Structure 1
């Protein structure tokens, strides 16, 4: 299962989702069954590492992460990944503009996985500075995504 998490700059929400999901998958013993990556819709932060407060939140929650560099989604990614999961409505709009028509069904809003959070967004902590909220929203949604993926793999 190839999963791509996407946000605007690929320095806060999407890398947090990437490493948090890798952690969940590892704890389930499913690491070999997944490829998990994160990218940006914009080129603003290309080459930059994860935002320090995002790293601090992952450290606080004991989630392993690697040094990484922000990367922008490319046309080939729409064909390669099984799921392309955006953090907010603008990400989804941007992704659908970029996506080849036949791949649009792969694009999902992260919080749409749960009825309680359907059609809501993960606020950008770059602006809100609330990395605890980001962590909690991501964690709840990622647990649900993992359950969905496990069912699909059966």
Structure 2
């Protein structure tokens, strides 16, 4: 079964496009997209330092473009994944009445890391640390979806 997964962060230029890129590489039989809760960077490619960190791991994010999350996404995807509790709250604030699309934290799929969110490398500058956490969680997500 093919699943449609949406990864969401704040600006859609670091964490969510990286998660989409890792997911595309590791679970190509599923479909994915990414979005930001804010539209500041709509139409822009992922942040240069995130692209560089991803490229060093063999991931090409250059074709991705930022877009803003909308209520319509609840009907377009089977699972929506946020990077932190603020993203989750912002996503849930747009949930249409009666919609039951699951919304989860990415780190829910990597309990072994002990992380309760993916820190935003735009602010922390730890792009490799964010990618390490994203990769661990994507592996857990892929296993979860393929059961």
Name the residue aligned to 1:78: 74
User: 1:24 aligned to 2:20?
Assistant: no
For 2:115 and 2:95, the matched residues in 1 are separated by 20
Count of equivalent residues: 145
Q: Which TM-score applies when normalising by structure 1?
A: 0.88
**What's the CA shift string for 1:74-97, capped at 9, x where partnerless?**
111101100100000100010010
Name the residue aligned to 2:13: 11
For 1:62 and 1:116, the matched residues in 2 are separated by 24
Name the residue aligned to 1:64: 60
| Deviation for aligned residue 1:49 | 1.2
Gapped regions of structure 1 (runs ≥ 5): 26-30
- Greater helix share, 1 or 2? 1
Gapped regions of structure 2 (runs ≥ 5): none
For 2:143 and 2:25, the matched residues in 1 are separated by 14
Q: Which TM-score applies when normalising by structure 2?
A: 0.92
Please say if residues 5 and 85 of structure 1, whose CA atoms lie closer than 8 Å, have aligned partners that are also in contact: yes
Please say if residues 109 and 119 of structure 1, whose CA atoms lie closer than 8 Å, have aligned partners that are also in contact: no
Runs of 4+ in 1 over 4 A off after TM superposition: none
For 2:106 and 2:131, the matched residues in 1 are separated by 13
